[in-house]
Amino acid sequence: MVNNEYLFTSESVSEGHPDKVCDRISDSIVDIFLAADPYARVAVETLATTNHVTLAGEVRGPSSVTAEIMEQAARNAIREIGYEQKGFHWNSAKVEVLVHQQSADIAVGVDAAGNKDEGAGDQGIMFGFACNETPVLMPAPIYFSHQILKGLTDDRHSGVLKHLGPDAKSQVTLRYVNGKPVGATSVVVSTQHAEGVSQEEVRAMVRPWVEKVLPEGWMCPEDQLYVNPTGRFVIGGPDGDAGLTGRKIIVDTYGGAAPHGGGAFSGKDPTKVDRSAAYAARYLAKNVVAAGLADRCVIQLSYAIGVSHPLSVYVKTEGTSKVDEQKLSKVLQELMNLSPRGIREHLQLNRPIYARTSAYGHFGRTPEADGGFSWEKTDLVPALKSAFKA
């Protein structure tokens, strides 16, 4: 039996959330290495707590990227986010760099040699998804959750909302009828604020952005708009809760509306299929929906470490396809080489474009002139339409 009416919820967190601070620092390290050498290898994790940051992991790249440069990158990221608080300050925090050279055992499996093409940097399964609920072909709950926080962050940086702090979370619950979202039933926003600012004042700052982001007529009932429901949120960021790289994978992707393979993105160079293949799967799924071949599309890819081709390519349109799914899978594999090398070259991923992905989602973003968010392009649409005479 089809569930014709239901509620679905997704959450987002701001760039100042402890885990997102760590994602930002890890991706800043990736960018530094790729700027120095487009083929550098990076797998760097970050831990942040009260006035302390630890970087750990393995790299293979130019010696010019020293521990001191990595430490400064971490401080720059914290400063740009806006942390100048007693318990977490870009200048006074202790930054420990425990980064070492990549394992030779991993390198031999990944590197191209002789007749062997470049292999995947790890085993795993990756998912991509797209749907026609929003103009950017993302599920509506996660899209609106991101937009609320992004708007508040922009106003904080500009000084319009100078009493708000960097740490914030949002949660949007939408009512669906016949598979389509029709309105919000509740919205939750918790945001760090300066000492002495009341809950009512914070609500007055937040409410306009909720109204602006939600479509006309979608606003939730007033008693279902929860702003700082605990009443106080002065201590935040890593001072309030320890952060780690890679703990917000559902926030990073589809808000729970589609499967996730389990691998985090931040801190990893594009030979790691956890990242690059997830981008490729989103790219293909988005082009399928953009071409009008389906209303929803899930794509799964699987890889083995050191193996240059995907072990499986699975396409599912959840009953919304206007074309044969088996043929669609075949056509997609003809349009894009899904080996690790093929993905990197097609999407031009060997560039310092990753720090910007670390907050407000890796998907549903606008492709940028320097190659950022290249996986959001819909340049396969003409070929897909041609293949299916659509």
Task: Consult the annotation and say whether 199 binds a ligand.
Answer: no
Active site residues: 17, 19-20, 45, 58, 169, 233, 241-242, 247-248, 268, 272, 274
pLDDT-derived band at 123 (thresholds 50, 70, 90) equals: confident
Q: Is 219 helix (H, G, I), strand (E, B) or coil?
A: coil
The Cα-based distances of 151 to 14, 66, 125, 241, 360 in angstroms read 10, 36, 33, 24, 11
Q: Please say if the pLDDT value at position 116 is more than 70.
A: no
Structure confidence by residue, pLDDT tens digits, 52-86: 999 999 999 999 999 999 999 999 999 999 999 99
Q: Please say if the pLDDT value at position 376 is more than 80.
A: yes
Q: Tell me how far apart the alpha carbons of residues 223 and 207 are, in angstroms, rounded to a whole number.
A: 12
The phi-psi region of residue 61 (left if phi > 0; otherwise alpha if psi is between -120 and 50; otherwise beta) is: beta
pLDDT of residue 105: 61
Task: Consult the annotation and say whether 194 binds a ligand.
Answer: no
Task: Consult the annotation and say whether 233 binds a ligand.
Answer: yes
- The closest of 344, 186, 354 to 266, measured between CA atoms, is 354
Q: Please say if the pLDDT value at position 331 is more than 50.
A: yes
Task: Consult the annotation and say whether 102 binds a ligand.
Answer: yes
Structure confidence by residue, pLDDT tens digits, 176-192: 999 999 999 999 999 99
Task: Consult the annotation and say whether 264 binds a ligand.
Answer: yes
Task: Consult the annotation and say whether 248 binds a ligand.
Answer: yes
DSSP 148-169: HHHHHHHHHHHTTTTTEEEEEE
- Alpha carbon 103 to its chain centroid, in Å, reads 27
Q: Tell me how far apart the alpha carbons of residues 16 and 170 are, in angstroms, rounded to a whole number.
A: 13
Q: Tell me how far apart the alpha carbons of residues 169 and 156 are, in angstroms, rounded to a whole number.
A: 15
Residue given tokens 């701001």 in the structure block? 14
pLDDT-derived band at 208 (thresholds 50, 70, 90) equals: very high
Contact 282, 128 (CB under 8 A): yes
Task: Consult the annotation and say whether 111 binds a ligand.
Answer: no
Q: Which two tokens stand for residue 111?
A: 């590197």
Q: Which two tokens stand for residue 205?
A: 């700052």
Q: Which two tokens stand for residue 311?
A: 């072990």
Encoded amino acid at 113, one letter = A
Contact 261, 125 (CB under 8 A): yes
Domains (ranges, CATH) in the chain?
Answer: 5-13+142-235 (3.30.300.10), 18-110 (3.30.300.10), 124-132+258-387 (3.30.300.10)
- Give percent of the chain with pLDDT exceeding 90: 91
Structure confidence by residue, pLDDT tens digits, 259-298: 999 899 999 999 999 999 999 999 999 999 999 999 999 9
pLDDT of residue 308: 85
- The closest of 268, 252, 298, 9 to 125, measured between CA atoms, is 298
